[in-house]
Structure 1
Amino acid sequence: MTKRLLITLTAAVLLGGVAAGYTALSGATPENTARSVPTGAGPRLMVLSNGKLSTVSRSDPAGSREVTAQSCDRAYAAAGTISCLRPVGALKAGELAVLDTGLREVRTVPLTGFPNRTRVSASGRMVAWTLFVDGHSYAANGFSTSTGILDTRTGALVTSLEEFAVEGVPQRPVDTNYWGVTFTADDNRFYATMSTGGHRYLLEGDFAARTVKPLTDLDDVECPSLSPDGTRIAYKKAVDGDPQKGWRVSVLDLASRKITELAETRSVDDQPAWVDDRTVAYGIQRDDGLNDVWAVPADGSGTPVVLVPEASSPASIS
């Protein structure tokens, strides 16, 4: 516990230092202070700028951004619902905050662990999150995750997918971990990653039935993200099946099972996000510790480009 507290305090100091230096580093990206998330000024992307919820124009994502005062470690948004995994502080635990576009709290859920992934269904109804409980990397041995889902309409809360029955398995293996939820259009079915026995499968889940089913023909699928048209999944794929070698961003066609490796050849440890049906975005950390949001065509063509500099957690919001 003492070691974890020291890590938390160190992280808080580092994040504070980064935030203090952000204005100087962002001279080429003017900012405006916003008290809500702008959604009516044409198509926009929501990102985190030094941990602050921000938006940029999709037509000029490297240009001026609206930065709010709302702090998150990870964030995502859809249809007016914002999921914000708030940072763990020296004197407070982390939490999930579900916000509206005015940044008003709709629901909070106390959480224990290191914020890692979050997603909102296309309708804005369902919210999912993943935390590291032990370890801070999917490449490490012995890491442990906790993944939950909230139905914002009914208030139904599942704090861990370990509560769900695994179809075809009488007893859930003790080494099972879940992470990286992405929702289908019906708000009930979802995909995620399930790891067990040294394999990382694409998982299909049924929220109402409280069941999950590993798709064992789809090994080595991590952090899935369903395309807007519901036909493909973007994900990270371990190089040579070994996470310690890094990950390639790939796209899976759900009908044909065809896998396309995208033009990004660097290691991407992120849950990809679809900007539209043709473009996949993701975060990559720079040598100076800051992140940039990059984008690449979803068909394997083209070359990666910086979409939003000094940002993370991209989400198309209009």
Structure 2
Amino acid sequence: MSTAARIRVLIVALVALAVLAVAYTVYAASRTDVRDEPRPGGPVVREGGLTLDAPGRLLFRNMAWGPLRDRLASVPLGASRGVRTAGGPTCYTFHAAGGTGVCVQADRGLVNRFSVVIVDSRLRELRRYPAGGGPSRTRVSPSGRMAAWTVFVSGDSYAGTNFSTRTSILDSRTWTLHESLEDYTVIKDGRRYRSVDVNFWGVTFADDDLFYATMATRGKTYLVRGSVSSRTVWTLTDNAECPSVSPDGTRVAFKHRVQGDASSLPWRLHVLDLRTMKETATAETRPLDTQVAWLDGDTLLYEVPAEYEADLWEVPADGSGSPALVMRAATNPAVLR
């Protein structure tokens, strides 16, 4: 083939690629337009101002289709199916308490990058930290002083064993950052424990020093109690993941892995009484992958996969009753007390 012929072939190929790129862009834009349109019968969402210091409200990530999808939103407690007020930053995961919020944001590109943003009660950015991996769990202590986040270093799911996470704890008063819980001393079964495969995720704060989390090592998961000031964690029980401590600090709700369940969601919700160490299975029997919130001292609030990605449900923490739908098209609930 002559040089001129090769050039003609190259030009034709480049034109074809350009046509395909334009066609795909138009197609993607048309799909985005569809996704951005509110769906008939879906939740009503209106843009407005949000604050993190208004008690008696439920804050969450709005998943209803429309221009405010993925924005933070809130409703009064007890009026969860009413009109939503949405505003503030777009967060992939979020949690708030005591007038402080922790928001994990995605910087979209050829390679997605994530940042952890600490915000004040008016959702104004205070500090920003590179996440270093895909976002997973976030929590803020009841006072608003301490914040924690977990990111995937490898893998993107807790269902299997081929994943690694990094969990960080930040003091938002002194801006002291503990970059990884793996630097903490581990006391397992009363003895100091070391292993190269130790992995942590899912912090929940009882106060500004005491916290609970999941630790994994040698194929097992453990509920651990930790102290920020002593940089130490102690194992409490096994087969407990993504804990959430009750408002009074006496119970921990968590995911209990069902032995022999090889599905992508092999967990059921349980509650541990920290005084008696008795575990109680809740009435929610559907498989879930979530870190629950406590709606009040007796009720768990959690997300269930659904049409809009997820809906929020509630169930009594004592094993009684049955699950009930709280709201559609919502994730990452935080109860402002």
Q: TM-score, normalised by structure 2?
A: 0.83
> 1-side partners of 2:141 and 2:150: how far apart?
15
- State the SS of the aligned residue for 1:313: strand
| 1:107 aligned residue (124, 127, 141) | 127
| 1:63 aligned residue (63, 67, 82) | 82
Residue 178 of structure 1 pairs with residue 200 of structure 2:
yes
In structure 2, give the amino acid aligned to 1:121. S
> 1:14-73 deviations in whole A, cap 9, x for unaligned?
9x9679625423644211212333754x61100001321111111111111111141111
What is the Cα deviation at residue 296 of structure 1?
0.7
> 1:85-115 deviations in whole A, cap 9, x for unaligned?
1124216621111112211012211111110
Query: What pairs with 1:84-163 in structure 2 (closer than 5 Å)?
Result: 84-90=103-109, 93-163=113-183
1:37/1:54 contact within 8 Å kept: no
> 1:131-152 deviations in whole A, cap 9, x for unaligned?
1111111111211011000000
> 1:188-243 deviations in whole A, cap 9, x for unaligned?
1111000001110011111111112222xx11010010000110001110112757
> 1-side partners of 2:198 and 2:33: how far apart?
37
Q: Is the radius of gyration larger for structure 1 or structure 2? A: 2
1:303–1:120 distance in 2 versus 1, CA, 3 Å = same
> 2-side partners of 1:269 and 1:119: how far apart?
16
1:82–1:19 distance in 2 versus 1, CA, 3 Å = farther
> 2-side partners of 1:82 and 1:101: how far apart?
7
Query: What pairs with 1:199-218 in structure 2 (closer than 5 Å)?
Result: 199-215=220-236, 218=237
| 2:60 aligned residue (24, 34, 47) | 47
> 1:116-164 deviations in whole A, cap 9, x for unaligned?
0000000000000111111111111211011000000111101111111
Residue 29 of structure 1 pairs with residue 43 of structure 2:
yes
The equivalent of 2:216 in structure 1 is: 195
- State the SS of the aligned residue for 2:83: strand
> 2-side partners of 1:261 and 1:151: how far apart?
34
1:138/1:243 contact within 8 Å kept: no
1:37/1:55 contact within 8 Å kept: no
What is the Cα deviation at residue 308 of structure 1?
2.0
2:88/2:123 contact within 8 Å kept: no
2:52/2:96 contact within 8 Å kept: no
> 1-side partners of 2:98 and 2:160: how far apart?
35
Name structure 1 gaps, 5 residues minimum.
Answer: 1-12
The count of corresponding residues between Structure 1 and Structure 2 is 300
The equivalent of 1:9 in structure 2 is: none
1:227–1:241 distance in 2 versus 1, CA, 3 Å = farther
> 2-side partners of 1:143 and 1:155: how far apart?
29
- State the SS of the aligned residue for 1:316: strand
> 2-side partners of 1:137 and 1:18: how far apart?
27
2:104/2:117 contact within 8 Å kept: yes
Which range moved further: 223-232 or 136-145?
136-145
1:34–1:289 distance in 2 versus 1, CA, 3 Å = closer
1:307–1:298 distance in 2 versus 1, CA, 3 Å = same
> 1-side partners of 2:261 and 2:133: how far apart?
25
Query: What pairs with 1:250-261 in structure 2 (closer than 5 Å)?
Result: 250-261=270-281
Q: TM-score, normalised by structure 1?
A: 0.88
> 1-side partners of 2:252 and 2:169: how far apart?
20
Query: What pairs with 1:235-254 in structure 2 (closer than 5 Å)?
Result: 235-240=254-259, 244=263, 246-254=266-274
